A and B are shown apart, each in its own frame.
Chain A
Amino acid sequence: MALIEAAGLRKAFGDFVAVDGIDLQISAGESFGFLGPNGAGKTSTMRMIGCTSPVGGGTLRVLGMDPTTQAAQIKARLGVVPQQDALDEELTVAQNLAVFGRYFGISRAELYRKSGPLLQFAQLTEKAGAKVDTLSGGMKRRLTIARALINDPSILLLDEPTTGLDPQARHILWDRLFRLKREGVTLVLTIHYMDEAEQLCDRLVVMDHGRIVAHGSPRELIRTYASREVLEVRFDVPDHAQKAADVDGLADRVEVLADRLLLYTHDGDAALDALTDRGVHPQSTLVRRASLEDVFLRLTGRSLVE
């Protein structure tokens, strides 16, 4: 059974259509990602699933219930990690957990029993008595996740969980999310970073202008919308469009960016050899595997992280 089901889901703010009729089916135990640039409608969709924003049109079912009439019952079984942590900086780590648990009607005794393992999971055991405003960004994020788990949620909603964190903090966080995934928690994420989407998501949808423009597993999407490898070439020119002719015919498809050319091909090294044979010598070259970034570029004509 699908834990989250949407059909023709819409959301508009005045004249601005944030979510323009999307269909979704997210199953139990799945790790599902929404991918897209800012303003694509990811957060609006997440907020409707989280029952904090009224459904604007179409139908939505979460855990088999209707968010319009059963928001409290649904929210009792969700964990939400918003973009901004919304922690209480004046309170300690342990107090933040306790206070939040009370919102769910969890008894003091049970909260006491739960907070130990949760703090351990968030690697914050030593920080239990520390005020939140003394924590690093990564620690705050982990506390927000621990807080979202206080009610043993059936679904964990994470809105750009690693945005704004340094690489090390991001890796710790990924590790934690992997652990949850292994334990069978259904994760629904919005994601900005491609590498994250590829590692964390079983399935994802690419959103742009409020619509779903593609869906599938990361591998399927790359296979469908990109090639196996990509050859990146940079020239010492102000405008790479003028170099497009030099690489013509060397790849299945060429994408011209401001600072480089992307050649989509099944064999990047062969394309590079062919380029050299033509007597073209770029300033730098790079052969890499195609990623979701390439999928996104193909689908929307824009890069994801601007």
Chain B
Amino acid sequence: MSAPATTREGDVRTRAGSAVGGGWRSVTAYWLTLYRRIWKSTVISSVLAPLLYLAGMGYGLGAIIDAPGRTAVPGVAYVGFVATGLVAAQTMMTSVAETTYNVFGAIKWQRTYHAMLASPLRVVDLVRGHVAYLALRLLMVSTAFALVALALGAMRGPAALLTIPIAVLGGLAFGLPVYAYTAGTASDEGFNMLNRFVIMPLFLFSGTFFPISQLPQVLEWLAWASPLTHAITLTRAVGLGSPAPLPVEGWQAALHLAYLLAWAIGGYVFGVRRLRRRMVV
């Protein structure tokens, strides 16, 4: 048989079938072990918070916005509008939370990544393991939210369950680029800036609470750069019952998905590259 193929800088790719060590699954298992210890506190930030937004904005504000017999967004109750926005917005928030401090800590504070790389694990295993963990976390929060929103009638119809995979992909479109940023950053100072000046504005201006058509033309175009805008366009197309009041054509849907995939895949590629440059010296 041929010798194991090698990649750059001492990172080793073994032949299929001759895998050494626990691979990316053992990395996912690590993050889940850690999560099991803190899950209660994350329930508040990643499940309760979006529900509070839904209650406050959707029902509270919605009561003012929608007049009887006439909704601000034609054919869509405001609570439904907000629910289909929040399902994707919350995975963005969770995703960023899961790829900043705890990844930085694994590199610099707790040095978990150093310990992992002393075992047969490779840099790509570290990234893949974290991505799998992240996808699971996003699946948890978006499922919980979607089910509650369905039960409350804020989202409607079986197709609304499709908001879950869309929200997961939308979350990865943020999480992976942020992971790449974290993998290479020298200090944790940027995380606050990232949250205040990137994530928070995107949360507000990607169509979560109002249609981006309300924005000045320039900002509206800018809002289309945000992956969240694309994720929300898709969740609104499937989450508001049938016939869809805010439908998306098949080819448009494909473009939205492609845009999200491009961010996720790009983030992954850069994440591996930056982490390798950081860890393998």
Contacts and interface: CB of A to CB of B under 8 A. Distances in A.
B11 to A, nearest CB: 7
Contacts of B10: 51, 53-55, 67-68, 71
Contact of B118 (A55, A68, A82, A102): A82
Contacts of B281: 13, 53
- Main SS at interface, chain A: loop
A279 to B, nearest CB: 59
Nearest to A79: B118
Contact of A71 (B12, B19, B38, B115): B12
Interface in A191-246: none
Q: Which of B9, B33, B34, B37 has the most CB of A within 10 A?
A: B33
A75 B12 CA distance: 11
Q: Give the bracket for the number of chain A residues in contact with chain B.
A: 35 or more
B30 to A, nearest CB: 5
A106 B29 CA distance: 13
B252 interface: no
Contact of B117 (A52, A68, A100): A52
Contacts, number: 109
A295 interface: no
B117 A88 contact: no
A269 B217 CA distance: 94
Contact of A69 (B3, B115, B117, B122): B3
A163 interface: no
B23 A105 contact: yes
A99 B29 contact: yes
B20 interface: yes
Contact of B119 (A13, A53, A75, A89): A75
A98 B23 CA distance: 15
Q: Which of B9, B20, B111, B116 has the most CB of A within 10 A?
A: B20
Interface string B1-38: 00110100111101000011111001101100110011
Interface in A79-137: 80, 82, 84, 86-91, 95, 98-100, 102-106
Interface in A10-34: 13
Contacts of B19: 105
Interface in B37-77: 37-38
A54 B114 contact: no
B37 A91 contact: yes
Interface in A32-57: 50-55
Interface string B83-124: 000000000000000000000000000111011111111100
